[in-house]
Amino acid sequence: MTLLSCESLERPAAREEPWVSPRAAYVHVPFCAHKCGYCDFASLAGVDHLAERYLDALEREMAMSGQPQEVETIFIGGGTPTRLSADDLKRLLASVRRWFPLAQGGEWTVEANPGTLDGEKADVLRDGGVNRVSLGAQSFQPALLQALERNHAPEEVEKALELLRPRFNFWSFDLIFGVPGSTPEMWESDLETALGLGPSHLSCYGLVYEKGTALWKQWQAGSVHAVDEEAERAMYAHTIDRLERTGLAMYEISNFARPGHECRHNLVYWANDAYFGVGLGAARYVRGVRSSNTRELPAYLRRIEAGQSATGPTETLDPESRARETTVLMLRRTAVGLDRSDFLRRTGFDLDALAGTTVSRYVQRGLLEDDGQRVRFTREGLFLADSVLCELL
C-alpha cells in the first residue's frame, strides 16, 4: 500500500479573490467602417489593411503574460469586432481561446454592428465559443442615426437579428436617447421598436458630448443643439417604467435585463473586480494597479512588435481611494446596491466610517435609500446619479 505524503494531501492553493486576481478579460478590436460623430472610443476607420498585423500584435500581447489565464468572462469590444473578415475573426477567437480559456459555464460576448454580420461570421462566432452578442442598434430612426453619424439603416438591425436569434440565447441591444433633434415621443417609438424585437437585455445610454468628438465640436460651434434637460429626464423616466413593465429589470443605471440575462462581464467592472485588458487603448485592473494601453495604433503596433509593453498611464490606488471607487461602482448596480458586509470584505473599510455623512445627507434628500444593510439609489436619485457618485468619489 502506498502512503500519500503530506505534500500530496495538501489542498490546492486557494484562488485569490476576484478583486485581486482577474477572472475576466477584455479584448479590443479598433476597426470601424466609419467614425461616428459622438464616438470617443479607440476606434479607427480606413485602416482595415492593418487587420492582420493587428491580430499578430494582439496575439503577441496576450502571449506576454507567459501562460494562459482561465477566465469566467470574455468581452471582445471595439471598434467593431465584426468588421474583421470571417477568417480573421476565426483567428482572433482561436488566439483568445488559447490565452484566455473560458471556464465551464463562462460568458463570452462579442460586440457587433448592424451591417457587418453575415451568416458565415455568425457561424464563426458561435462555433468559436462566443455565447452572447451585443448589437449596436442605437436608434431605429434614419434621422437620429444620421445625427449620430451611424452608417447603418434601421432595417439592418432586423437582418442582424435574423442571424443571431437561431444561434445565440443571449443577445442585447445598445440604444441611445437624448440624440439632437429627438423628442420623448421619438424615444418612446425607438423603445417600442426595440421591445418588439424581443431582447432579453437592453443598454440605454443618454448621449454624452465627449470632448474632442465631431459632435462635441458641432455642439460647441452651435450647429447642433442638445436636447433640453427636461426632455432627457422624461426619456429616462419612460425607459425605467416601460422596461420594468416588460420584465426587463434595471440592474445598473443604464442596463436592463430579464433575470439571468445580465451582462456578467460588466458586473465585474461594477463590483470593482480585477480584469485583464489587451489591444489598442484597452484598460486593465490587475492586483490593485489600473493601467491602459496607448490609443495610438502605430505606437501600439510598433511597441508590441518590438516586444515592449504598450501600457501608457498606470495608477496604483491606495486602499482608501480604492474603497471610494468601489462605493461609486457598486452604487451603479441599482438592484443590488452597496452591501455593507460585502463592501467591508472587499475593501477592509467600514462604509459608515468612510462615507457615512455623505450617504446620510443623500438619504435625507431622498436620493439614496438605506435599509441598514444596503444603500441604493431611489428612483429620484437615479436622475441625479452623476452628482451623487461624484461627491462619493
Binding site for ligand SF4 (CB under 6 A): 32, 35-36, 39, 41, 43, 78-80, 113, 136
Our CB check for ligand SF4 shows the closer of 106 and 281 to be: 281
> Considering the complex, what minimum distance in angstroms separates the CB of residue 227 from ligand SF4?
19
Residue closest to 137 by CA, chosen among 161, 118, 119: 161
Closer Cβ to ligand SF4, 79 or 180, answer by number: 79
The residue (of 294 and 334) whose beta carbon lies closer to ligand SF4 is 294
Instruction: Report, in Å, the least distance between residue 147 CB and ligand SF4.
Output: 13
Per the rule left: phi > 0, alpha: psi between -120 and 50, beta: everything else, 272 is left
CA distance 220 to 214: 10
Number of Cβ within a 10 Å radius of residue 377: 24
Q: How far is the CB of 348 from ligand SF4 (least distance, A)?
A: 38
- State the Cα–Cα distance between residues 320 and 124, nearest whole angstrom: 45
Residue burial 8-43, b: 16+ Cβ < 10 Å; e: rest: eeeeeeeeeebbeebbbbbbbbbbbbebbbbbebbb
Burial of 73 (C-beta count, 10 Å sphere; 0-12/13-18/19+): buried
Cα–Cα–Cα angle for 24, 29, 34, rounded to 5 degrees: 140
Q: How far is the CB of 40 from ligand SF4 (least distance, A)?
A: 8
The residue with cell 442638445 is: 226
Of 174 and 370, which CB lies nearer to ligand SF4 in the complex structure? 174
- Cβ 36 to ligand SF4, closest distance in Å? 3
Is the CB of 36 or the CB of 388 nearer to ligand SF4? 36
Which of 22/81 has CB closer to ligand SF4? 81
Least distance to ligand SF4, CB of residue 269, Å: 18
